[in-house]
Every structure is written in C-alpha cells, then in structure tokens.
Chain A
Amino acid sequence: MFKKESRLGAREGFAMITMMIGVKISNTTPSMFAQTGANAFWLMPLISMSVILPSVILLYYLLKRYKDKNLVELTEHILGKHVGKFVAFLLFVIFFTLLAIEGRSYTEQLKMLYFPESPTPFIFFIFFMIAFYGAKRGLETIGSTAWAFFFYIKASVILLAFLALREVIFARIFPIFGNGLVPLLTEGAKKASLFSDIFLLAMAYTAFDSTKKFRKGVFSGFAFVFLEMTFFFLLYCTIFDYNSIDKVAFPFHEITQYVNMGNFFTNIETFFMIFWLFAALIKYMIYLYLISWIFGAVFNIKEFEPLILPFAFFGIVAGMVPENAVINELVFKSNFMDMITPFLIFFPFLLWVTAKFKGDLKR
C-alpha cells in the first residue's frame, strides 16, 4: 500500500538514488574499471547502462502494473510463493554481500588516507554504528536527510571538479578505445551491476508518496548520476595517463590530495572527505534499511526494523573476511559484480515472461 502523505516524494527518490550510485565515483570502482578499460574506462558506464536499462525499465513497468507491491511482494506474487521467496532471498544475499564488500572498501579508504593508526575493525564498527543509527530512524528520515545533504555534497564535488580542471589534458582520452573495443564492451557489459542499486531501491516503492513521483525521482536521479559518473571518469582519464590510471587505487582521493586553492589553501583533502563520508553514510543507511526490509519480507517478519542491528553486525563480520583492500576490490568485488550482472539482467525478464504467461498483463 502506498502511504498517504508520505514524506518521500520525487526529490527524495532523486537524492537517494544519486547517493547510492554516486558514491561509486569516489571509491575504488573507477580503478577497478581502469584495469581493463585503461584510458577509455569513462565509456564503460555508458555500456553498462545500455545493457542494464531494458531490465530496469521492465522491472519498473511491472511495479507500475501491479500497483501497490514492493519488489519482494511482486516477485512472490508473480513467481508463486516458493520460487518467489527463493529469488527474493537471492536478492537479499546479493545486496548483503555488496554491503559487506563495499563497507570494507570504505573502511580501508578511511584507514589508509585519514586514520592510518586505527585498527580496521574499529573504523568498521564506528562506520556501521552511525549507519545503523541513521537506518533506525526509518526510510522517511533517510530520504529527507539525503535530500537535505544533496546540495552540499554535490557542491563540494563540483568545487573539486573545478579545481581539478587545471590538471586535465584532454588529448589523453586518445586512443579512444583504450585497450581495444572488444575488451571494453565485454568488460562494460560484465560490470553492468554497477547500477544494481536501482533494483534495491525498488524495494522502497510502496513507501513513496505515489508511483508517478517515485518513477520520476528515480529515473531523473539515474540520468543525473550517470552523467555525473561519466564526467568524473572522464576527469580521471584525462588527469592520469593510460599507463598510470590502473596503478591508482583511489583516484578521487588522489585528486583531492593533489588540488589546491591558491598558495595559501593547500592540503585541502579533509574538506572533501567530510562530504564524501556523509554521502557514504547515507548510502549505508539506505542499504541497511532496505536489506533488513527484504529479509523481513521474505521471512514474513512484519516488524523488520529490529533486524537492522544484527545485519549491521553481520555486515562487519562478513566485510572482515578478505585479507586486504586490494584483494577485496580486485578479486572479490570484481568477480562478484560479474556474477550478479546476468542475474540482475534476466530477473525482470523472468518476471515479465511469467506474468505474460499467467495472463496478468492482459487487463
């Protein structure tokens, strides 16, 4: 059921999807892409998007047709109780794993760049504790927070882009296809799960004010974040040359450390770090909340909010499994993203075909 007078409208949806996907600009995702894409990896979001867009549109079309059902309810309704629950549980596993892997990645960045002496588990713990605190307030609060911080976070990012423009040498985007068109296309398609967050947000469908506002917010946010991502990846490609880009683990932080505002304001990376951290925390609040919700929906737990705490805890435990940040990123995350891409692409088609077969879509 749609909540009447929900505080979640188009702009909250816009801000939430922008935060969820947008923080990928500033973590290790670009360096993971650069391993195969070299100086052409800025084209990869375009490829990924064109691969995943039909599935996203199909899923959102189904959500609209079935009106007041969220992602799990929709899956169960179309695929039947047992298969539906199984698929929904798979979704839960996917997003929980992403939460753990990316949580670890953020922790490692924080540790490496700002808190070299602090133990990783401790940073992890504090990080998730804040995310838990935010998630516990509920989705409406998270949505409002995302919107309230949206402009400050984007303003800091725009400032960074502006300061970094001086270092850009545009001719570095050539040779235009980097390591070749074929590897670029295959890798871009394999990593289409870059935009997996848009599937997760479908869980919050019924929490929004109306279906129209939800779709408007999410799709405009998706378009915005896609452009932002392409622009920033282009910035990385033109600041670093093709032989150097794959050696840089955190291009975003590398740039924040590099730029300065005149001779007086040097070493200004901490300024950007605060906004970056805020964006990451908001993302984890959304993740924790929605993952608990999926779990609750699968196992018929109406009151799912108490589940947030155990999931935050298990997130830390699972995130501590990889040995170090490089293994975490280049092995676990990369492989995992390749693995879930086909699932995310075919899952809406499976729903659609079954619905068609059952004759639900005839009306």
Chain B
Amino acid sequence: MMRKLLMFTVLLVPLAGCYDQTEVEQQSYVIAIGLDKTDDEGTFRITFQAANPEVGSTLSSGGSQEEPRETVTLEGNDLIAAKDTANSVMTKQIALDHTKVVVVSEELARSGEFLRIIQAATRTTELRRSVQIIVSKENASDFLKNNQPLLETRPHKYYQYMLTRATQTGIIPESEIHRFFQITEGDADAFLAIYATTEQTEPKETGNEDQYIAGEIPVEGGNPTQFMGSAVFVEGKMIDILSGQETRVANILDDTMDMEALYSTFPDPKDKRYRIATNFSKDRPTDVKIEYHKNQPTKINVTIPFTIEVVGVPSLVDYSKNKENRKLLEAYIPKLAEEQANNLVKKTQEQYKTDIFYWSLYIRKYFTSIDEYEKADWNNKIYPNAEINVDYKLKQLYFGKMIDDSNLGEVRD
C-alpha cells in the first residue's frame, strides 16, 4: 500500500508540466498589430489581425468556408493588456509569437507617442525583435481591413513574402523593431520604416519606376495595398516620407542594409526621349571613410562599388560595340547616381540634421569612451556640417546575353 502511494505521488510530479499547457488549437495567432491614435492621450486604438491556420492547408481543403483572417479593433492603453479585452470578441487566447508586422498610422507616428506604446510591448517575451514596423498613411485599422490580398490570402505568408521581396528590391527599407530600438536609443541617426497605404491618391503621372511613394503608383488590378518608400523617424518621431527612389539610395548608402540587385532606368544620354533599363547590383560593401576633425568640418568619403547590366536600350543606340558610346555610358551612370545620392545627403543634412544611413557607426572609433562620443554630438554638430563626398565606382558593365539590338529601321524596311 505504502509503495503504491509513493509511486502515485512520484507520478504526480511530471504533471507540473501541464501548468503551461496550451494546445495549438486554443490559440489565436495574431499576425499583424495596428496602432492608432485616439483623442485621449495615452489611449490607443489597437487592432489585432489573426490568421486562420485552417485556410490553405491541405487538411481542410474543400471543407472550410471560413475567412482567412479575423480583424478586431478596440481601444486600450497597452498592447498586452488589450489582448484580454480582445477576447471579448475573439474566441481563443491571443498569441503574439508569430506576429510579423506592427502597423502604425502616420498620425500616431508623427505625434511621437509611438515610442511609448511600442516600448511597453518589448517588455514581454512574446513580441519578437524581428517584427517589422510599417507606417500606414491612413489609420492602421483601415489599412488592415482594406488589405485583401488575392493570392496569398493567409496573412502570415502575405506579409512574409511581400516584405521580403519589396526589401530585396530596395523600394522599402528593412525596419525590424530591433533596428528601430538600436537606432532610436543610440540617439544619433534616423530610422527608416516601411511606408504603405491602401488608399489610392491622385496617381503621379510623370514618375519613373521608383519615384513614387505608396498610394501614388498607377496600378490596375491586384490588391489595393501599396508598399513604397519609407517614413523617417528621428528620435522615435516621424518627420518625413521618402520616395521609393530615395529609399533605394538610402539602402545603397547604408552598409548595414542587405540589398540585392535592383532594376532601374536611366535617361539615355544619346537620346533623351528614352530611358535605358539596367540591373544595378552592389555586390561589395559600401566603404565609408570618415576623417574627424574636432574644430573643422568632418570629411566623409563614401565609395560605392557597383555593377550594371544593361537590359534594354529602347533608343537602339549601340552602346555595346561602339567604344565611344560605351565610355559615355560608363561615365554617365555614376554621375547620375551620384547626383541622386548627393541630393538625398543634402536633404538629410539640411532638413533632418541627421543621417539616415547609420553612418555614426564609422566615427565611433575616434573616441575611447561613450562620454567623449556623445559630447562630440554626431547629429547636432558633426553631421550637419560635414563635407560629404559620395563616389559611385562602376566596376563592371554588362550587356546581357544579346550583343546588339536589331535595327528598327531595317526591320521595318
């Protein structure tokens, strides 16, 4: 009897593992969180968008008629506390482990209150550091409601693919919460967040492939959501919007951003009516050299090695075999790129008074202690007065797999 009792007691111990038992089925996986401002300071409108894991899986194909996502908006003071309130509508325990994005309305981002609510959220272990910050032009709740992807209906896959691809092309920055905190707490540089909208504004007529910000792109069909450009955060407060092109330049100038090859067009130097289509790739790191002088302006030299593959010459000018034309193009592309970069650098120096390229990293080695470094004051003293020289170095010029274009005149003959 005694032995049986002892055995029973011992067997009870492993049951302790059941304290935290939660079935996958009993959890609601929130993929996107939306944050909006209300009229009350300290109160926010919080939107949770949960994925329905049944949709799109082979197990339930045919059977399930349920929506792929559930979106709930409510008011609250804190993100985590609002989870429980949301349970008055949503059926299951809300888990934030799989959250992919935090959508912030532009209004909230510009008010500077954003830092307050997001900082509280990182205290929990639930929200990951790899969550991306998206600034939406409209209210975040509207953004999440209007976003109706047609192919990737499951929201977790949608955000994952959408953001990965758009980041690769450089039209939006990488804006992980981790990076946001490192830069904002570092208090030297500005942070770029993804800019997106579901509201089409007056389409911009004259734009080339990346000179838009979200909402201006004249697209027909597809999901109304557009991801393009970036929101500039200085000290946790949004101050400006950059176009897709400027974002690309910022991504190229910032060596801590991963960016793959991107397609871009340049005006044809021989025939201004057409634009040359190219594949721009930066396969070597951007080289940033800073010469720091205490009482003189600091010199910043940035070298960007890149390769260009010409993929289309609509003007049919022979750039591949004609040596003179090739030389012209080789000189022309870096010049144009430098012009774009210099414009952006100038804008950051004059308008933002701080850089968006995380260049403060390169000046740190001149200081031995944090005190000295902070006294030197990157964003008030050093950067706005620095002499910055951006140098694009064309390493190689390719012409695709065709040697020459067929002469349109001869074809029409």
Contact = CB atoms under 8 A, between A and B. Distances in A.
Contact of A171 (B128, B181, B365): B365
B256 interface: yes
Contacts of B178: 167, 258
B367 A175 contact: yes
Given A113-B125, A169-B256, A258-B130, A240 B182 contact: yes
A55 interface: no
B128 A178 contact: no
Nearest to B187: A243
Interface stretch (B223-231, B259-267, B322-330, B369-377): B369-377
Contacts of A126: 13, 16
A338 interface: no
Query: Interface majority SS on B: helix, strand, loop or mixed?
Result: helix
Contact of A175 (B13, B19, B130, B364): B364
B362 interface: yes
A122 B185 contact: no
Contacts of A174: 361, 364-365, 367
A117 B20 CA distance: 5
Contact of B186 (A177, A243, A254): A243
Contact size range, B? 20 to 34
Interface string A31-42: 000000011000
Interface string B156-199: 00001000100000000000001001110111000000000000
9 contacts: A38-B370, A169-B358, A174-B364, A174-B365, A175-B367, A181-B369, A241-B182, A241-B183, A242-B186
B145 interface: no
A112 interface: yes
B186 A241 contact: yes
B129 interface: yes
A176 B130 contact: no
A260 B368 contact: no
B369 A263 contact: no
A244 B181 contact: yes
Interface string B354-365: 000010011011
Contacts of B183: 241
A68 to B, nearest CB: 40
Nearest to A176: B368
A119 B20 CA distance: 10
Contacts of B16: 118, 122-123, 126
A322 interface: no
A171 B125 contact: no
Interface of B: 13, 16, 19-20, 97-98, 125, 128-130, 160, 164, 178, 181-183, 185-187, 256, 358, 361-362, 364-365, 367-373
B369 A171 contact: no
Contacts of A129: 13
A177 B187 contact: no
Contacts of A119: 19
B254 to A, nearest CB: 11
A243 B97 CA distance: 25
A247 to B, nearest CB: 8
Query: Interface majority SS on A: helix, strand, loop or mixed?
Result: loop
Given A175-B373, A177-B368, A180-B369, A263 B125 contact: no
A116 to B, nearest CB: 7
A44 B160 CA distance: 40
Contacts of B364: 171-172, 174-175
A38 B369 CA distance: 10
B13 to A, nearest CB: 7
A166 to B, nearest CB: 8
A124 to B, nearest CB: 11
Task: Identify the 4 closest CB pairs spanning chains A and B, nearest first.
Answer: A174-B364, A171-B361, A118-B19, A243-B185
Contact of B125 (A38, A112, A178): A112
A266 B160 CA distance: 11
A179 B369 contact: yes
A179 B128 contact: no
Nearest to A259: B130
Interface in A135-182: 167, 169, 171-172, 174-181
B361 A115 contact: no
A175 B370 contact: yes
A181 B371 CA distance: 11
A267 interface: yes
Interface in A241-285: 241-244, 247, 253-254, 257-258, 260, 263, 266-267
A129 B178 CA distance: 38
Looking at A113, A122, A171, A242, which has the most chain B CB atoms within 10 Å of its CB?
Answer: A171
A270 to B, nearest CB: 11
Given A115-B20, A242-B186, A172 B361 contact: yes
Contacts of B97: 267
Contacts of A247: 185
B126 to A, nearest CB: 9
A178 B369 contact: yes
Given A177-B368, A241-B186, A258-B129, 4 more contacts: A115-B19, A171-B362, A171-B364, A254-B129
B185 A241 contact: yes
B181 A257 contact: no
Contacts of A39: 370
Contacts of B362: 171
A171 B98 CA distance: 31
A113 B125 CA distance: 6
